[in-house]
Structure 1
């Protein structure tokens, strides 16, 4: 998928992904690829939030696709909106190279013991 992490912290994750290679048959960014980017960013952030001896498991994702992207890169910014002991939630905004919103997603992860 070519996801590249640009900024990494429990509070905010930034990553980018090429449109090329992640398209549906009409040559536009596949909605599922946007979800992969969103979940990748939120899951890494949630794992950092969980801390040592804990794991983060995605339990819910939703996405609204606002516009198509046909070339270049898309960039996702995941912002933690809730960081509890058992649940962590991120809002993820994905934009194109012209800073136009392509997708808005939300990911919730459950935190549990690793063992």
Structure 2
């Protein structure tokens, strides 16, 4: 992890109750790239597969945090306006890793592609999020 990434992770502070319940661990964070892990266990649907909603929550976390890091330098705050996800394969155990890569970092919006892979490096989910960057009230 680079010094900039460590600083950003420290500045972001607590991850919030949902992220704690899901077991999400932020490993790397810059406006351009974020990486986090999440256990499959405890985040499954009734058939024992990783819940699609858990994948989307991981993606939203990464995209929103990246947008927050970027928005900070413009004196703005991010609000999510769109997220989508394509679920490619199931995960039944272990840990998944999400990597968010900036697609667009503008003055009034930010967008990320988030790729979630299993421990074998197989793609589980691809997501995209767009956040508006607004003036704080």
Partner of 2:30: 9
| Equivalent-residue separation in structure 2 for 1:82 and 1:54 (angstroms) | 16
Unaligned runs of 5+ in 1: none
2:83 aligned with 1:64, yes or no? no
Equivalent residue pairs, number = 115
TM-score, length-scaled by structure 1: 0.98
Alignment map for 1:1-115 (pairs within 5 Å): 1-51=22-72, 53-115=75-137
| 4+ residue runs over 2 A deviation | none
Moved more, 46-55 or 85-94: 46-55
Unaligned runs of 5+ in 2: 1-21
| Equivalent-residue separation in structure 2 for 1:23 and 1:66 (angstroms) | 16
Larger helix proportion, structure 1 or 2? 2
Q: Deviations over 1:57-86 (max 9, x none)?
A: 011000000000000000000000101111
Deviation at 1:51, TM superposition (A): 1.1
Aligned-pair RMSD on alpha carbons?
0.7
Larger strand proportion, structure 1 or 2? 1
| Equivalent-residue separation in structure 1 for 2:136 and 2:94 (angstroms) | 38
